[in-house]
Amino acid sequence: MTATGIGASVRRKEDFRFVTGKGRYTDDVNRPGQAHAYFVRSPHAHATINKIDATEALKTKGVLAVLTGDDIAADKVGGLICGWMIHSKDGSPMKAGAHPALAQGKVRYVGDHVAVVIAETYAIARDAGEKVVVDYTVLPANADTASAAKPGAPVVHDVAPDNMVYDWKLGDKDATDAAFAKAKHVTKLEIVNNRLVPNPMEPRAAVGDYDEGNESFTLYTTSQNPHVARLVLSAFIGIAPEHKLRVIAPDVGGGFGSKIFIYAEETICVWAAKKVRRPVKWTSDRTEAFLSDAHGRDHVTHAELALDEAGKILGLRVKTIANLGAYLSTFSSSVPTYLYAPLLSGQYNIPAIYAEVDGVYTNTTPVDAYRGAGRPEATFVVERLMEVAAREIGRDPADFRRQNFVTQFPHQTPVIMCYDGGDYPKSLDKALELADYASIGKRKAESARKGLLRGIGISAYIEACGIAPSAAVGSLGAGVGLWESAEVRVNPVGTVEILTGSHSHGQGHETTFAQLVSDRLGISIDNVAIVHGDTDKVQMGMGTYGSRSGAVGMSAIVKALDKIEAKAKKVAGHVLEASPDDIEFKNGKFSVKGTDKEIDFASVALQAYIAHKFNGQELEPGLKESAFYDPTNFTFPAGVHICELEIDPQTGVVAIDKWTAVDDFGNLINPMIVEGQVHGGIAQGIGQALFEGAVYNKDGQLLTASYMDYQMPRAGDLLSYDIAVTNTPCPSNPLGIKGCGEAGAIAAPPAVVNALTDALGHEDVPMPATPQTLWRAAQRAVTKAAAQ
Amino acid sequence: MTAVSMTVNGQHVSAEIDPRTLLVQFLREHLRLTGTHVGCDTSQCGCCVVHVNGDAIKSCTTLAATCDGADVVTIEGLAKGDVLHPMQAAFRENHGLQCGFCTPGMIMTAVELVRRKGTDLDEHTIREELEGNLCRCTGYHNIVKAIGAGAQAMGAAAE
Amino acid sequence: MYEFTYHRPGSVSEAAKLAGEHADGKILAGGQTLLPTMKQRLAGPSDLIDLSRLDDLRGIEVKGGVVTIKALTRHVTVATSADVKAAIPALAELAGMIGDPAVRNKGTIGGSVANNDPAADYPSACLALGATITTNKRAIKADDFFKGLFETALEEGEIITSISFPVPEKANYQKFRNPASRYALVGVFVAKTGGHVRVAVTGAGSRGVFRVKDFEAALDANFAPAALDGKSVAASGLNSDIHADAEYRAHLITVMAKRAVAAAA
């Protein structure tokens, strides 16, 4: 391992600009003559729009335009799309209600886009926005997941009169019923997976620009996948053909899924730029972000686990209602289906699994992928069931898990996935040791002496990431392929530019990708530049989500580097007067096997461009290669997280005392960055378990629309985590790496809730387990204990 | 309109502004100092923290007009050319940032924290003092580490 | 924010005159509550009277068993004042629990007390310590000052100039934070002054800060946590929201009051 190669905790190349305030985020972009947009949003969850009167607004000095759904329709701007087709049990396609970028006749959630005011300044636009008079007829709202599709519930879209987007299933119902029929013990759980708001610290923003001379558009936007944005804006929404639309996602301040999607606001900014012949800028404020960024999770689930007399799992049955909100966001339909149910086997041998998922419309903000996307929900179901089942049958939760672990690979689950490798007992053993699991009894007794309730909770998670083999996801309904592209441009002096379709918004690609190149080509990391986030520079890409940038994005770079090496060997062969087959490449030097003749990489690059030493008709000059990499499987990171905590039963306040994480991410490129990803994931997972929850009232008003009511995890709420890794290299990609970005958020919630319920004498608690919730549960636990 | 003059990162600036201009708007939109960020509307995220007369304050909850005559330092004013301030260097060394959006506010908060509480900061103190700064990426683990190390480095640099 | 006319008076009398002239105006002290409210367009004052130049409204004095804090004194100054820490440590601790460090660097005691946010911390200290609020016109007893949600005895054109706190024998403030906003969900200030105990509760009451006479009587008889055993505030007058219903708040008041007594004793 070199100091900057694979496996080294190289300090990040991008940090100088970030710590000096020189990062360039979308809101930092200002175009000459730029105007500002303010969105008039629906204050009602559900209403018909009778009339929009912009007369007064248009009279305001500095207002350039007020545009509504009528203008969208007149310009034939296409609706926002959902790019993953899900079929119901009867084979019928999901029911996708129209999703115009500005409402047409009806609003379906608080925050829905009614009109846009474009003015010289944001203040003027906002002042004028308040003068846009909208005449609504308010309709009853449908805002509750569990009852959204019950008879009589208000209908959100006419295409789905029962509010069912789909009723979907996965697995073998008959086999699962048979497994339950012979079970000695069945554990049953009612689970609510709470709705979350992603909250990257950078609010979304967009600047649309139209070049009249070239009849071309440029959109600067806070996107995790600018090429997908370009594709959707071109092919579906119809702003401009791809060669006339450039999408730039500069520095992006966190995404966590919420910046995957193509939203109304950026669509309007780029469309309106041509209408008003001025660049148009919009930056979300935080309350708008709460209302309009796609939310995450929001499941109501009934789950059952069947065991035999020895504690072996026989089957798993799950019925989930998934709230998809008022419209189908870009990838929403896939999240509670193919990103969820295929993970229900967890780390365990489960012979039969059957899952049903009802996707429902409600008058709430659209729900889509948020860090983990489906996999946290699946892991929560599995790991809560495992914990509760162990307690019910009087087994140690760790031993019960170990008994049911998958130990042979490859392992085909009954729900699509084929696990290609792992060592689950090893991670468990290591975690139990680091957590000092054996002496928890002593620590519980110490807490009890202080009047406090101590608990410990295990979560043995698996996830499928590095998405995904294109043909496989295509067969499941995906509208796109999930490969990645890379281009390696070697300059004549031997410096290298890597153009990648992955996008970094905190993950440190400029460093890890450069490490890969430095390692492979034997050149200084300072001589490698990573170029991403601009569709005019990078030809194509699928972006960053589903922990895919390493496993898929870097694999594409490896593939392009293979081509570079092959071509460079030919050049070196000519220079060294040897056959390319006799050329070896090691530590940045090309040499002739068995001789001391060698030439370094930079010199070969120069020779490739000078082209004096070879026949340009037989070997093309230059050194530039590109590759598209389509993965052959998902990657399957897995691990064990253990949470230990203490509850003050007098107040319900909980303090997490110790967090142990042992993760198997395969080979690591940059351990420092991997650890950082785990830290952030755990924090979001703890946030889901203890702090965060979007709450709607029955009228569909979001009661948690700012940080005054939505509790973001703060430094003082959290702790320093004990992190360790195990390594079974991933067999399906050339680097042997697995995704690490989502693991913490997937693993953490059940670890916390298992610890809470352990402390509370097995009293169940909903997430987020706020002090009030825990106080009440503690009272019940104390009462129950006294009665026994 | 209201006239304001102040010193920003050692430079004298003056302008005629709409009185409702917040200090952060003045910095970002008038002076194009875009290192100071806005992450919320309710004074809680701390992405906008700058120093006014040596105090760390939220520039989104301060009128530019009120800062007339003040000495303002932003994240852009911390490094000396290419030489990072010890706290900036500590954030980089300890991987105390990911997306970088909260980072300027975190660093400005941390620098003032050291001025108030000294260079030997325990974890509990650092976590309590970050009450007004949100980060969504790092889980705070490495921010806490970075501030501890940066504080020590500030102490060493001052000796 | 809505548009407003900005004023920056050079004296209290000028400020008071401006405030009197502009009935729909607002006084800007530290602005840590007012400006967010204006940004969200929940307030739209016609005029903003910025007190930031009134330097003679800053400072702390301890004399004759009374701590007098001038109105524009920032929370950070109170929290770190050696004089306050020596005389009424609970008051310094309370100031150090308000908002966050950046908010404490701007927010002022006068602004907090004049705003009388039902979840603010200072009003509980004022009531429990029997403070006197001095304005440009008169002196008002804390018991007469707080009139309900965001309501005070202040009249138009009246500006707080200082707040005086008699030094107690014992005092402590226990704050249970709203987990999201970090304002007081329940804050209980207990003080024993001149042999008599006062207990003031903020954050919980549907009409703002209030005293708990029942607790006071019990603690007068026996200043110990056990004196509050079995005692509670009726939930009927307390706030309910997504973070805490009235029953939980009522429970927390007793818990926090006992903890305050234990810490003070």
> Length of chain A in residues, anyone?
788
A33-67 pLDDT, tens digit each: 999 999 999 999 999 999 999 999 999 999 999 99
A23 CB within 8 Å of a chain B CB: yes
Question: Do B91 and B135 belong together in one domain?
Answer: yes
Q: Give the number of other Cβ atoms within 10 Å of residue C199's Cβ.
A: 28
- C63 close contact with A: CB closer than 8 A: no
Considering the domain architecture, whether residues B59 and B90 belong to the same structural domain is answered as no
Give the integer Cα–Cα distance in Å for A464 and A635.
Answer: 6
Give me the residue from C3, C6, C36 closest to B43, CB to CB.
Answer: C36
Quick one: tokens of A637? Answer: 């990171």
Residues B124, B125, B127, B131, Cα dihedral to 10°: 140
Q: Over 90: is that where the pLDDT of A223 sits?
A: yes
Mean pLDDT value across residues A219-234: 97
Give me the residue label for tokens 């207002």: A63
What is the C-alpha separation between A227 and A247, in angstroms, rounded? 7
Of A22, A287, A680, Cβ closest to residue B137: A680
DSSP count for chain B of H helices, then E strands: 5, 5
**A-to-B residue pairs, Cβ atoms closer than 8 angstroms:** 179
Partnered with residue A656 across adjacent β-strands are A645
Domain boundary among B77, B107, B141: B77
Nearest to B35 by CA among B54, B14, B51, B19: B51
Q: Among A100, A118, A111, A102, which residue's Cα sits nearest to residue A38?
A: A118
For residues A333 and A82, the answer to whether their CB atoms sit within 8 Å is yes
Same domain, B94 and B145: yes
For an interface test with B, the pick among C105, C181, C183 (most B C-beta atoms closer than 10 Å) comes out as C105
A27 touching chain B per CB within 8 A? yes
CATH code for position B28: 3.10.20.30
**How is residue A40 written in tokens?**
């008039």
**Which among C2, C3, C181 is the nearest to A708, CB-wise?**
C181
Residue A772 has its nearest CB partner, among C1, C40, C244, at C244
| CA–CA separation, A293 and A298 (whole Å) | 15
Choose the closest CB to A202 out of B32, B99, B126: B99
Q: Which residues of B touch A23 (CB under 8 A)?
A: 35, 100-101
Say if residues A65 and A384 touch (Cβ distance below 8 Å).
no
Task: Please report, rounded to a whole number, the percentage of residues in chain A having pLDDT higher than 70.
Answer: 100
pLDDT tens track for B55-83: 999 999 999 999 999 999 999 999 999 99
Judge whether C61 lies within some domain. no
Q: Is A478 left (phi over 0), alpha (psi -120 to 50) or beta?
A: beta
Contacts of C32 in chain B (CB under 8 A): 43, 61
Q: From B32, which residue of chain A is nearest by alpha-carbon distance?
A: A28
B73 and B90 belong to one structural domain: no
Contact A142, A153 (CB under 8 A): yes
Report ipTM (2 d.p.).
0.98
C-alpha to C-alpha distance for A653 and A646, rounded to whole angstroms: 8
- Please report residues of A whose CB lies closer than 8 A to that of B144: 715, 720
Q: Are A778 and A649 in contact (CB under 8 A)?
A: yes
The answer to whether domain A18-139+199-292 has CATH 3.90.1170.50 is yes
Q: For residues A651 and C176, is the Cβ–Cβ distance under 8 A?
A: yes
Q: Which residues form the domain of C12?
A: 5-50
Q: What residues does A41 pair with on adjacent strands?
A: A113
A744 touches chain B (CB under 8 A): yes
- Residue A2: band (very low, low, confident or very high) from pLDDT cuts 50, 70, 90: confident
- Confidence at A786, pLDDT banded by 50, 70, 90: confident
Number of residue pairs across A and C with CB atoms under 8 Å?
39
In a shared domain, residues B100 and B142: yes
Q: Which of residues 200-229 of C touch A (CB under 8 A)?
A: none
Residues 6+ apart with CB under 8 A from A231: A242, A480
- Residue where a domain stops, chosen among B16, B43, B77: B77
Establish if B138 touches chain A: CB-CB under 8 angstroms: yes
Which residue in A10, A14, A18 has the most chain B C-beta atoms within 10 A of its own C-beta, making it the best mutation to test that interface? A18
Note the pLDDT tens digit of each residue in A106-116: 999 999 999 99
Tell me if chain B has a CB within 8 Å of the CB of C8: yes
Would the CB atoms of B41 and C6 count as touching at under 8 Å? no
B71 in A contact zone (CB under 8 Å): no
Chain A CB within 8 Å of residue B93 CB: yes
Q: Which of A466, A442, A462 is nearest to A731 (CA)?
A: A466
Closest Cα of chain C to B132: distance in Å?
5
Q: Is C252 on the interface with A (CB under 8 A)?
A: yes
In this complex, is the C-beta atom of C178 within 8 Å of any C-beta atom belonging to chain B? no
Boundary of a domain, candidates B42, B77, B112: B77
Check if A287 contacts B (Cβ < 8 Å).
Answer: yes
* Residues A197/A293, Cβ–Cβ less than 8 Å: yes
DSSP assignment of B82-134: TB--HHHHHHHHTT--SS-SSHHHHHHHHHHHHHHH-S---HHHHHHHGGG--
Bridge-partner residues for A775, per DSSP?
none
For chain C, what's the residue count? Answer: 265
Closest CA to A266 of A217, A204, A211, A325: A204
C-alpha distance from B32 to closest chain A C-alpha (Å) = 8
- CB contact under 8 Å between B62 and C105, yes or no, is no
Residues B64 and B96 in one domain: no
Quickly list H helices, chain C: 12-21, 34-39, 75-80, 82-87, 89-96, 101-104, 109-115, 122-129, 142-145, 213-221, 246-264
Q: Does residue A715 belong to the interface with chain B, where contact is any CB pair within 8 Å?
A: yes
CATH 3.90.1170.50 boundaries in chain A: 18-139+199-292
* pLDDT value, residue C74: 98
Q: Residue C194's CB: how many other CB atoms inside 10 A?
A: 9
Q: At what angle do helices A771-787 and C246-264 cross, to 10 degrees?
A: 90
Q: In which residue are the tokens 């548009």 written?
A: C3
Q: What would the pLDDT profile of A118-139 be if each residue is shown by its tens digit?
A: 999 999 999 999 999 999 999 9
pLDDT tens figures, A250-303: 999 999 999 999 999 999 999 999 999 999 999 999 999 999 999 999 999 999
In chain A, residues 666-705 whose CB comes closer than 8 Å to chain B: 672-673, 675-676, 679-684
* CATH 3.30.365.10 boundaries in chain A: 299-467+633-787, 483-629
pLDDT over 90, % of chain A: 98
Q: Which chains touch C (3 or more CB pairs under 8 A)?
A: A, B
Bridging pattern class, strands A205-211 and A216-221? antiparallel
Q: Do residue B21 and residue B60 come from a single domain?
A: yes
- Cβ of C101 within 8 Å of Cβ of B2? The answer is no
Mean pLDDT for the stretch of residues A389-406: 98
pLDDT (mean) for A505-513: 96
Q: What is the pLDDT of residue C265?
A: 81
Residue B103, domain CATH:
1.10.150.120
User: Domain holding C34: CATH number?
Assistant: 3.30.43.10
Domain's final residue, options C18, C34, C50 = C50
φ/ψ (deg, to 5) at A584? -110, 145
Nearest to A711 among C2, C180, C255 (CB): C180
A contact chains, 3+ CB pairs < 8 A? B, C
Question: What whole-number distance in Å separates Cα of residue A413 and Cα of residue B9?
Answer: 61
Domain A483-629 carries which CATH code?
3.30.365.10
Would you call A253 and B37 a contact, using CB atoms and an 8 Å cutoff?
yes
Q: Is the pLDDT of residue A1 over 70?
A: no
Q: How far is A254 from chain B (nearest CA, A)?
A: 5
Number of B to C CB contacts under 8 A, please give it. 84
Q: In what order do the strands lie in the sheet with A216-221?
A: A63-68, A113-119, A35-41, A280-283, A205-211, A216-221, A245-248
Chain C environment of A123 (Cβ under 8 Å) = 1
Q: What is the pLDDT of residue A716?
A: 98
CB contact under 8 A, C103 and B132: yes
Residues C32-52: pLDDT tens digits? 999 999 999 999 999 999 999
What's the sign of the alpha-carbon dihedral A466, A470, A471, A477? Answer: positive
Contact A773, A652 (CB under 8 A): yes
Quick: pLDDT tens for A672-730.
Answer: 999 999 999 999 999 999 999 999 999 999 999 999 999 999 999 999 999 999 999 99
What pLDDT does residue B159 have? 79
Summarize pLDDT for B6-36 with one digit per residue, the tens: 999 999 999 999 999 999 999 999 999 999 9
Q: Provide the residue range defining the domain that includes B103.
A: 86-158
Q: Are residues B96 and B136 in the same domain?
A: yes
Interface contact C5, partner B, CB < 8 A: yes
- Position A785 scores a pLDDT of 84
pLDDT 10s digits, A726-759:
999 999 999 999 999 999 999 999 999 999 999 9
**b/e code C118-140 from CB counts within 10 Å (16+ = b):** bbbbbbbbbbbbbbbbbbeeeeb
What is the rounded distance in angstroms from the CA atom of residue A584 to the CA atom of residue B142? 42
Overall number of domains in chain C: 2
Using an 8 Å Cβ cutoff, are A206 and A220 in contact? yes
Indicate the pairing of strand C47-50 with strand C60-63: unpaired
Residue C111 lies in a domain: no
- Tell whether C136 is covered by a domain: no
Within 13 Å of residue C152, how many CA atoms lie on the same side as its CB?
A: 26
Contact B55 C52 (CB under 8 A): no
Q: How far apart are CA A300 and CA A296, in angstroms?
A: 13
CATH number for the domain whose boundaries are A299-467+633-787? 3.30.365.10
Mean pLDDT of chain A: 97
Mutant choice from B18, B76, B111, B140 vs A, greatest count of A C-beta within 10 A = B140
- Shortest CB distance from C179 goes to which of A123, A695, A770? A770
**Model confidence pLDDT, tens digit, residues C191-213:** 999 999 999 999 999 999 999 99
Nearest CA in chain B to C52: B66
**Number of domains, chain B:** 2
